[in-house]
Every structure is written in structure tokens, then in C-alpha cells.
A and B are shown apart, each in its own frame.
Chain A
Amino acid sequence: MDSTLGLLALSPPGWGGTLLIGLWASIQIAVGAFGLGLLIGLGGAYGKIYGGPVLRDCLGVYTTVVRALPELILILLLYFGLTDMVNKLMLALGYGRIQISGVVAGVLVLGVVQGAYATEILRGAILAVPPGQIEAARAMGMPAGKIARRITIPTMLGLALPGLSNLWLIATKDTALLAIVGFNELTLATRQAAGTTKAFFTFFIAAGVIYLAISLLSTWGFARLEAWARRGDPPRVAGAR
């Protein structure tokens, strides 16, 4: 027991600090990717609903391709493909090679993946807003941007949050896939600690507990958020379906 606690101690020779640094990197990427995904998703959803045929087709290709391919392949493709393309471009323009930071690359790659799913979640939620809500705003002379911001988005939030909460949990776990490109997030940190100390069980259990804690905390947070977003919902009658 003592040796286990020693291994998990925050300062060396314990590896707890390394794990926490990895956790911090994971959370940064998850938050960044989820946020980027929401922005892409909101734009994508409005584009799919109100956009012209060309925009709709482009968005259709984006959501179809990204959702069809395994995320691991997308990450390898986008990470190595994008850095390669950027560097070729830089060389062609006469600049030197650049190093894209792991966090930025991770946020971009996972954000593009998240955006495809968010587009579909938000599109469904926007379409589920009763037309009368938007019509009342139009009839009172509200400009379109304000209708989106003050009526449509708040109303669809309650419908979108269960799906978005799934997406967030996937984002937290997909950060582990970035270990494959050598990004030092929680899973890679765990593997290093386990490999060095040979205490595989201890460290992978520890990492599992951390992921579980993130998940429980997120679920609680999203439940509160959803209760707030649904504050105007009609009271549920006991026994009603």
C-alpha cells in the first residue's frame, strides 16, 4: 500500500505529478476541441438549414466523411497530413519548417471531428424548435441574428444538451487517441509511468479513476445545465408517458 502511494506521489520519485500534467493537457484539448466543435457545429447546422445548395453539399460531404472514418485514422491523417501540408507550403514560400504545438494540433484535429457530430446534433435541435417561437419574434420585428441568439438557440439548448453531453464525454476520451502521435496527455503519461515503474495495474487503474471522475463531474454539470435550459418546460405529470 505504501509503495503504491509512493508511486502516485505528486513529486518525484512518485509519478502523480506527471499524471496530473497529462490530465491538464487532456482537459485543455477536450475543452478546446469541444468549443471549436460547437462553433463549427452551430455554423454547420445553420448552413445546412438556411444555406444555399453549394454550401449544403459541402457540409454534407464534411459530416458524412468525418463521421464515416475511424477517429484514429482521421487523427493520423489530419495530424501528419496537415503538418506536412503546412510545412510544404512554408518551404515553398521560402520560410523554414515550423513546429505545430501539440495542444493546437490536438484541438484542431479533434475539433474538426467534434464539429461534424455537433452539426447534426444542433441541426436536429434547431429544427425541433416550434415554428411559432420564431414566428412570434419575426412578427415583432426582431432581426434574424437576434432571433438566433435570443430565441432559437436558448430554446433548442434543452433539446441539444443530452447529445452535446455525449459529445463532450467522447471529447474527453478521444484525447487519449492523441497518444498515438506522441502528444503527452493523460494516457501517454500513464504509459510512461507504468513502463518505467512496471506498476502497470496501479497506473492504469489510477488513469481509469481519473477518467471516471471527469465523467461523473461532467454528467453532474450537464444535468444542471439541462435543468436550467429546460426551466420553462411544462411540469411533468406523474405516470404520464
Chain B
Amino acid sequence: MNLAAKSEAKAPQRSHEAIRVEGLHKSFGAHEVLKGVSLSAREGDVVTLIGGSGSGKSTLLRCVNFLETPSSGRIVIGGEEVRCRPDGTPADRRQIERIRQSLGMVFQSFNLWTHKTVLENLIEVPVHVLGLPKDEAVARARKLLARVGLAEKESAYPAFLSGGQQQRAAIARALCMEPRAMLFDEPTSALDPELVGEVLAVIRSLADEGRTMLLVTHEMKFAREVSDHVVYLYNGLIEEEGPPERLFGDPQSARLKQFLKSVS
């Protein structure tokens, strides 16, 4: 108790800020996708990125865990800045691996490992990378599968599941690492419309329990309901941001008004 209070007093910023992005630029060849974006998410925040196709929102998310190498800018996760070489790639392999382990990523196309059963997918990294004892990992995985409604499917291979089931399994896989924050990259965009609801319900339950999340989505109604902070990206820059009520209820910029009209 004393210790926690002490460290909090020493670095009040660190204990509250889960993800900070500063002045992020990213180019693919001559094409500049991100032109200087900064944002931050405190512990427990749900920050949602919205924007049209090509606005850079997915690239921004993928730069946070260095799946894409930022051209310039700083990424700070839980108070720890990712150290980079002059060319922008992570300087310390161990550091970036550790940081990635603390960020649970969920992809548009699920990306479950096809040669492993659902249960094997969940325990793969906890057992073989984090060194968790197998029975402990299995117990944790079963709890999570029950939570996302897939208790019956633990020995199924991903190809035998529906898209919605695969995405729920992928969310459970990310949770099984007990991450500090979750990154969702358009988690429902590849799903048939009737399967979207079951995945959103799982994400909503995570938001309700106070998980820190960075979410890229096209589901505007959902974004409005779960977000603490919404960021509208246009052409590689933040055009407008704020609490969801204001951004959706009273948009200021003409582009955001236009965008909201086009997706509603």
C-alpha cells in the first residue's frame, strides 16, 4: 500500500497514462500516411479512432506496437518510451517484445493460427513465450473462452468456426496474455452483419470492466456508446477530437459533418 502510494507520488503521469503517441509520422515510400499525430489514452480509457478509408487510422494503431515502423515520432507505453534506431526501427528487441506482450492486438481478419486449436491458440504465447505453467495457462484460457461464449469450442480448429466465433476467440487469445491495453483494428469489418453484434458485445463488456482500449472502427453507434474519447482522422491528421457526445452530437468541422452524414 505504502509502496504503491509512493511510486504514484513520484511519477503521477506514469501510473495514469497507458498509451501516448507524440508527433507520429509514417510514410510508405513517397506517400505520407500520417503527418504528425499525437494522442494519449489514460488507464481505463476507451479511445476510438474514426475516419474514412485511407485516413491513416489503422496505420496509426499498427505503429503503436511497431507492426509498422514509424518514420518519426515517439511511442510511450505505460510510461516507457520505445527506444529506436536512427532509421526508426526498435533498438532493443527485448524491449519491443515485452511492450508488444503488454498490448493485446485484435485484427480485422482474426489471424488465429490455423494449425492450432482454439485452446492452443490461447495458451501459445503465455506458455511458450511468457513461461506460464501449462495447467495455469489452460485454466486461464478456459475461463476466458467461457466468458466469450466459446467454452464448447476449445478443441476446434479456427477454420471450423464462424467469423464471429473466430474473432471472439482472437479477443480471448489477446486477453490470455493479461495485457495492459487492447488494440482493436476494425474488429468487425470482415464479419457478416448478423455476426457483428456478438463481437461488439464482448468488446463492450471489456470497456465496462475498465479496460484500456484503442479502437479503430466503422461502427459509429458503438463508438458513441463505449468511447471516452473519439478521434476523427482525415488525411493523416487529427481533424477533430473530443468526448463522443460532442463529436457525434455537435461536430464542428465540415469534414467530420460530411463524414458522419456519409456513414449514418
Contact = CB atoms under 8 A, between A and B. Distances in A.
Nearest to A158: B115
B127 to A, nearest CB: 10
Contacts, number: 74
B113 A155 contact: yes
Contact of A140 (B101, B114, B159): B101
The 7 closest A-B pairs by CB, nearest first: A141-B100, A141-B101, A234-B159, A136-B111, A132-B111, A232-B157, A139-B105
Interface residue SS majority, chain A? helix
A151 interface: yes
A143 B97 contact: yes
A140 B67 contact: no
Residue picked from B99, B100, B117, most chain A C-beta under 10 Å: B100
Contacts of A232: 113-117, 157-159
A150 B128 CA distance: 9
B112 interface: yes
Interface in B112-134: 112-117, 124-125, 128-129
A146 interface: yes
A143 to B, nearest CB: 6
Interface of B: 65, 67, 93, 96-101, 103-105, 107, 109-117, 124-125, 128-129, 157-160, 174, 177
A-side interface size class? 20 to 34
25 contacts: A132-B107, A132-B109, A133-B114, A135-B107, A135-B111, A136-B105, A138-B100, A139-B103, A139-B105, A140-B174, A141-B98, A141-B101, A141-B125, A141-B129, A142-B97, A142-B129, A143-B97, A146-B128, A151-B113, A154-B115, A158-B115, A229-B115, A231-B115, A231-B157, A234-B160
B62 to A, nearest CB: 9
Given A133-B111, A234-B160, A138 B93 contact: no
A233 interface: yes
Interface string A102-138: 0000000000000000000000000000001101111
